[in-house]
Chain A
């Protein structure tokens, strides 16, 4: 890292060809590495999407998607997650210019909206299971709970991560390492929103259209 900073001082203000600029800074490298992880996560989700798409009609005489899914619920969940992505963006803006209040407000908004999304999703799961639409009922429901549940698990992990980041921010302030972790969190959270776009399109909207 000291090398990167040294190079940074030398080249400051000049526009240097990428091949002549020397080693990239840790922020760029960390972002790239985390981006690779996110892509591998998306590839894993694509396998879950493929299994859902293949099994979506294998209801085994049980309830179908059109009977189970509430468009209104899906719309509310989508709104929560989209807005939380927005507040997460505002949080990274505030963190980039080292504004504590803005960062904490953005994080609080993200946390509340993410938790609201999760509670709606859990409520939906609970009412489905109460109706007898358990994961054991049919291949369609197994695939549904695996896909949407895996996304919900990611959101839960993201919320825990966000709380940890706020603790680190309170303890250490805007250290470079904390900033890089917050950058990774923002990438993670936006990627979850991208996966949710696929879920509400393929599961909730297409499940009702036909």
Chain B
């Protein structure tokens, strides 16, 4: 228990130590992330309120902007990188994204499909209600 200040994995020493030495670089990373996030957020709010853009494309644009901003947060704030110490984190993230995608898209597709099929048989539903 001599020098446990960093308590990092073997081989990571250099990575953490460098951020310690140049304290400015970590500050720069967070500031860059903040600036990018602010730009993306302002673009989102502008796109939702403007009438300049082609209206049907706005929703898709908002989704793209949100995904971009989540990427910015992951890289600049949560420090998910492609480094060797991050392999497990990235794999877990990939699995999480898969599950989120399945839950979201699966629910939306199934419920839209159900809605459509229910609407087509209104007379059948009325029969059912009369009983």
- In the complex, are the beta carbons of A8 and B99 less than 8 A apart? no
Main secondary structure on A side of the interface with B? helix
- In the complex, are the beta carbons of B107 and A25 less than 8 A apart? no
The CA of A40 and the CA of B84, in the complex, are separated in Å by 23
- In the complex, are the beta carbons of B108 and A50 less than 8 A apart? yes
Report the minimum CB–CB distance from A50 to chain B (whole Å): 4
- In the complex, are the beta carbons of A86 and B14 less than 8 A apart? no
Q: A residues 1-43 with Cβ under 8 Å of B?
A: 1-2, 4-5, 7-18, 21-22, 24-28, 31-32, 35-36, 39-40, 42-43
Q: How large is the interface on A (under 10, 10 to 19, 20 to 34, 35 or more residues)?
A: 35 or more
With known contacts A193-B73, A194-B70, A198-B70, A24–B44 Cβ distance under 8 A? no
A12 nearest CB neighbor, chain B only: B13
Partner of A89 from B11, B12, B33, B45 at Cβ < 8 Å: B33
The CA of A42 and the CA of B45, in the complex, are separated in Å by 24
Partner of B9 from A25, A36, A210 at Cβ < 8 Å: A25
Partner of A206 from B38, B62, B99 at Cβ < 8 Å: B62
A-B residue pair count with CB separations less than 8 angstroms: 173
A8 nearest CB neighbor, chain B only: B10
The CA of A9 and the CA of B11, in the complex, are separated in Å by 10
Is there a chain B Cβ closer than 8 Å to A167's Cβ?
no
**B73 contacts which chain A residues (CB < 8 A)?**
85, 190, 193-194, 197
- In the complex, are the beta carbons of B7 and A205 less than 8 A apart? no
**A10 contacts which chain B residues (CB < 8 A)?**
10
- In the complex, are the beta carbons of B107 and A93 less than 8 A apart? no
B58 nearest CB neighbor, chain A only: A209
- In the complex, are the beta carbons of B5 and A98 less than 8 A apart? yes
**Given A54-B107, A193-B77, 5 further pairs, Cβ under 8 A:** A15-B11, A32-B89, A53-B108, A96-B26, A205-B47
Q: What residues make up the interface of B, taking CB atoms closer than 8 Å to A?
A: 1-14, 16, 19-20, 23, 26-27, 30-31, 33-34, 37-38, 41, 44-45, 47-49, 55, 58-59, 62-63, 65-66, 69-70, 73-74, 77-78, 84-85, 87-89, 92-93, 95-96, 99-100, 103-104, 106-108, 111
Q: What residues make up the interface of A, taking CB atoms closer than 8 Å to B?
A: 1-2, 4-5, 7-18, 21-22, 24-28, 31-32, 35-36, 39-40, 42-43, 46-47, 49-51, 53-54, 71, 75, 78, 82-83, 85-86, 89-90, 93, 96-98, 174, 176, 179-180, 187, 190-191, 193-194, 197-198, 200-202, 205-206, 208-210
